[in-house]
Amino acid sequence: MRLAVTGATGFVGGAVCRAATAAGWEVTAFGRRPAADARHLGGARYRPWDIGAAKLADPPDVDAVVHCAASATDTGVADEVWRTNLLGTHHVLVSFPDRRIVHVSSASVYDPYRPTVRAKEHEAPVSRYLNAYAAAKAAAERLVLAIADDPVILRPHAVYGPGDTTLLPRLLENVRAGRLLVPGNGRVLVSMTAVSSVARACLLAAAGDAVGVFNIADSDPISIDRALRGLLASAGVRARPLYVPAALLSPFARVFPGGRLNRYVISQFAMERTLDITAAIDRLGYEPEPTTFPAP
């Protein structure tokens, strides 16, 4: 199997490269950086490519493309988010016409204004979002479905695991005096997704014949409190969540809309965010595992 992976220097992209090379696949890894650590890529061949700038002039001959590259931020500059997440996706599609596309999207495309309860794939995208990241991800999904011949779109949520560069670092930024200020009560449920599970799903999608959109998550949801305590413990951080009613924090989110305490963050912690993964199990052959946090 010959595979191209975008965003290979990132958290998810690197995991996909390592899983594919371990399976004996021939992998060409792409990223914005001039060079990449061969260990991160599992020994895959690396080529620099800024997908937001232009299409690839000389794409390799591959069987499938796993598109992981994205601007994964809820507070980033909107122009850069749209450039990478939508324009970049367009450049990937036109660089690899007639190739199987596996697009790694996000559960952020579900409606942020109401709880996501065992959400099924047809419930998104929606017409309203709280930030450029979610809106651009939704637009990229529509583009992939409109252009690609046999696309697969994967929607993981709260991806975690060794080498995490997004979820855990954001939590650690907000630890103060042994406490982590959290909107809500900690009892609502959330679907987590191990990065190893995302990688497995990508390989199943690349090598299989199923098409469409699939939620990807661990076998069962857990409470926000368990998730946060597990993530903090996995980092060796002795801190505990301190829960504050979302209604008390919302006014501050309006005053400081670009900060870490914004409406998107409040919506993610104060309301249930769980996914139905039946389609991935039945049609992709995805085998979910329980949420397990790595030891520090």
Dump pLDDT digits (tens) for 30-64: 999 999 999 999 999 999 999 999 999 999 999 99
Distance CA 16, CA 105 (A): 14
pLDDT reading at 17 higher than 70: yes
The pLDDT assigned to 257 comes to 38
Q: In angstroms, how far is CA 225 from the centroid of its own chain?
A: 21
Task: Answer yes or no: is 236 within a domain.
Answer: no
Residue 123 CA to residue 274 CA, distance in Å, equals: 13
What is the pLDDT at residue 77?
Answer: 73
- Residue 147 belongs to some domain of the structure: yes
CB 47 within 8 A of CB 84: no
Q: Is 37 exposed, middle or buried (0-12, 13-18, 19+ CB in 10 A)?
A: exposed
Angstrom CA distances, 130 to 34, 75, 251, 294, stand at: 33, 10, 15, 31
Residue 168 one-letter amino acid? L
Is the residue at 84 inside a domain? yes
- Rounded to the nearest integer, the mean pLDDT of the chain is 92
Query: What's 186's DSSP letter?
Result: S
Structure tokens belonging to residue 92 = 């990937």
Query: What SS3 string covers 101-168?
Result: EEEECCHHHCCCCCCEEEECHHHCCCCCCCCHHHHHHHHHHHHHHHHCCCCEEEEECCEECCCCCCHH
Residue 213 CA from chain centroid, whole number: 14
Paired with 243 in beta bridges are: 182
Q: What is the pLDDT of residue 258?
A: 41
Q: Looking at the domain assignment, is residue 241 inside a domain?
A: no
Cα 276 to its chain centre, rounded Å, is: 16
Is 177 inside a domain boundary?
no
Q: From 74, 82, 229, select the one nearest 166 (Cα to Cα).
A: 74
pLDDT at 259: 44
Q: Is the pLDDT of residue 143 over 90?
A: yes
pLDDT at residue 256, as a whole number: 39
pLDDT tens, position by position, 82-124:
999 999 999 999 999 999 999 999 999 999 999 999 999 999 9
Average pLDDT over residues 153-172: 92
Residues 6+ apart with CB under 8 A from 200: 19, 286, 287
Q: What's the pLDDT tens digit per position in 198-209?
A: 999 999 999 999
% of the chain residues with pLDDT over 90 = 78
* Residue 244 in this model has a pLDDT that exceeds 90: no
pLDDT per position as a tens digit, 253-274: 443 334 455 677 778 888 999 9
> What pLDDT, on the 0 to 100 scale, is given for residue 172?
87
Does residue 48 form part of some domain? yes
Span 170-193, pLDDT tens digits: 888 888 888 988 888 999 999 999
Tokens 């049609």 found at = 283
Give the DSSP letter of residue 42. Answer: T
| Number of independent structural domains in the chain | 1
Q: Which pairing describes strands 179-183 and 175-176: parallel, antiparallel, or unpaired? A: antiparallel
pLDDT of residue 264: 79
In this structure, is residue 14 part of a structural domain? yes
Q: How confident is the model at residue 74 (pLDDT cuts 50, 70, 90)?
A: low
Can you give the residue range of the structural domain that contains 13?
2-160+192-219+275-284
pLDDT at residue number 165: 87
Radius of gyration of the chain (CA): 18
pLDDT at 229 over 90: yes
Query: Is the peptide bond prior to 125 cis by the omega test (within 30 degrees of 0)?
Result: yes
- Per-residue confidence band for 158, with pLDDT thresholds at 50, 70 and 90: very high
CB 229 within 8 A of CB 289: no
231 within some domain: no
- CATH number for the domain that contains residue 79: 3.40.50.720
